[in-house]
Amino acid sequence: MSKKQSICPAVVEKRPLGIYIHIPFCVRKCLYCDFLSMPGTNETIARYIKALCRQIKTEAPAYTDRRINTIFIGGGTPSLLSGEQLTEILQTVFEAFTVDADAEITMESNPGTLTAEKLCAYRKAGVNRLSMGLQSTENQLLKALGRIHTWEDFLENFYAARKAGFTNINIDLMSALPGQTLADWMETLRKAAELSPEHISAYSLIIEEGTPFYEWYGDRDDADGLGTNGQDADTDGTNGQLAASGWPALPPEDEERQMYAQTESFLNRKGYKRYEISNYAKEGFACRHNVGNWNRTDYLGFGIGAASLVDNRRFRVIADLERYLEYCLSEAEGGEEGCLGEDFLVGKLHEEIHALTAQEQMEEFMFLGLRLTEGISAKVFADTFGVPIEEVYGEVLQRLKKQELIVWNDQNQQISLTARGVDVSNYVLAEFLLEEEE
């Protein structure tokens, strides 16, 4: 296909809209992962792609006043798809929507599922930003996470991506892993930075309920032997059980903090600027799709479990794979193939439909926008909501400013987190959740 023929030039009068496409299939689920993902047979994946394309075609007519400026294909493991399958999905989007000629099109991928042939096909299909899940350069740590690849696999895939023409690559890294030391983490940062990717995402491991890690480690504080009040929380012998079973313990809390603290200074020296709590980029390579999400730019989700924000309404596609396939592949409901009907989709495919109140919009403006290092604009807040920010959050802002957790730049009216505020960002962001009015 010709990308130039498929993507329309940007139309100024049309409002921007991001698209998220969820591919839920994985070779196997990582031990820490609580995302909506699962193994899938070739037949199931083929049916899912057909259903996905029908959903896209059906919903697109409701968005003729929009232009697509970013597309993000996430998972799961989207790189399980063949080049032909990925091309079919993107071709459907290009034909159904007005897509900017310079749209950022990101695809997540995992080493061990990529080939040179696939990478060339993805690039030809229109993907211009590749996000690669490395997590660690230490093979024993990758094994502890349940990853299917090695550091050597990643290197082979990374160089193949460069050869295929990818000039915008993100590498995902994860700290505070079981058995990981500060030296291990700094070695991972060093090796990743030496590859000179355009973007690095550096996250700390979160132990999520419903995962094998939660069964083994429980709450991170408990696994560290530290209770929330500084008391010994290892009353059930968690660490002893781990040691007996051969599973390594999580790093102590003070070492985890050192990993976090040294990440920014190291990456800054390597030419990466932090633009969000956990994301670093070379100049001009911040992820436009994610920045749009943090700035509450509208986005539309396709595929099971995919969330949307459109005109201050949040909604989600059903997470049940079989129901999704049944509804989207139904020939009887829609008449013409690929057109199920808007009423049918709203009633069947979408759930958790919620029109945000003015209060909820203001809360999101604050706790999403403050994740960005540039913070939020008091002027934009007033223009958006018709009320000065001091009138809504005056007491909170003064308290956080006194605690040196935020800074208010009087010159440009920007409010942002301090370095200390970033360290305790969960606490700071929670402060902007207002109590519901009676």
What is the per-residue pLDDT for 220? 54
A 10 A CB-CB count for 277 gives 18
> What backbone torsions phi and psi does residue 416 show, to the nearest 5 degrees?
-145, 165
Q: What is the mean pLDDT of residues 107-111?
A: 96
What is the per-residue pLDDT for 77? 93
Q: Are residues 290 and 369 in the same domain?
A: no
- Residue 363: pLDDT band by 50, 70, 90 thresholds? very high
Residue 9 has pLDDT above 80, yes or no: no
Tokens coding 157: 């895939």
Sign of the C-alpha dihedral, residues 421, 427, 433, 438?
negative
Residue 349 lies in a domain: no
Cβ within 8 Å of residue 251, ≥6 positions away: 176, 177, 180, 181, 182, 259
CATH number for the domain that contains residue 393: 1.10.10.10
Query: How many folded domains does the chain comprise?
Result: 2
Q: Are residues 138 and 270 in the same domain?
A: yes
Residue 307 lies in a domain: no
Residue 427 has pLDDT above 90, yes or no: yes
Distance CA 123, CA 186 (A): 32
156-190, pLDDT tens digit by residue? 999 999 999 999 999 999 999 999 999 999 999 99
A 10 A CB-CB count for 153 gives 19
Percent of the chain with pLDDT over 90: 70
Q: Are residues 109 and 10 in the same domain?
A: yes
Exposure string for 386-420, b = 16+ CB within 10 A, e = fewer: eeebeebbeebbeebeeeebbeeeeeeebbbbeee
Distance CA 372, CA 294 (A): 7
CA dihedral 117, 120, 124, 126 (to 10 degrees): 110
Domain boundary among the residues 294, 313, 339 is at: 294
Q: What is the mean pLDDT of residues 338-347?
A: 52
Nearest to 416 by CA among 274, 260, 297: 274
Q: Model-level pTM?
A: 0.89
208-256, pLDDT tens digit by residue? 887 877 777 876 544 333 222 222 334 344 444 454 356 788 889 889 8
CATH number for the domain that contains residue 200: 3.20.20.70
Strands of the sheet containing 406-409, edge to edge, are: 376-377, 414-417, 406-409
**Lowest model confidence (mean pLDDT) among 85-99, 253-267, 332-346, 412-426:** 332-346
Q: Which residue has the tokens 């998220």?
A: 20
Domain boundary among the residues 244, 259, 294 is at: 294
Residue 299 lies in a domain: no
Distance CA 286, CA 276 (A): 9
Residue 308 lies in a domain: no
**Domain residue limits at 187:** 3-294
Distance CA 321, CA 311 (A): 27
Distance CA 395, CA 264 (A): 31
Sign of the C-alpha dihedral, residues 307, 274, 146, 81?
positive
Q: What is the mean pLDDT of residues 40-67?
A: 95
DSSP string, 26-62: -SS--TT--SS-B---HHHHHHHHHHHHHHHHHHGGG
Q: Are residues 94 and 241 in the same domain?
A: yes
Q: Are residues 88 and 198 in the same domain?
A: yes
Residue 290 lies in a domain: yes
- State which H helix or E strand residue 272 sits in: none
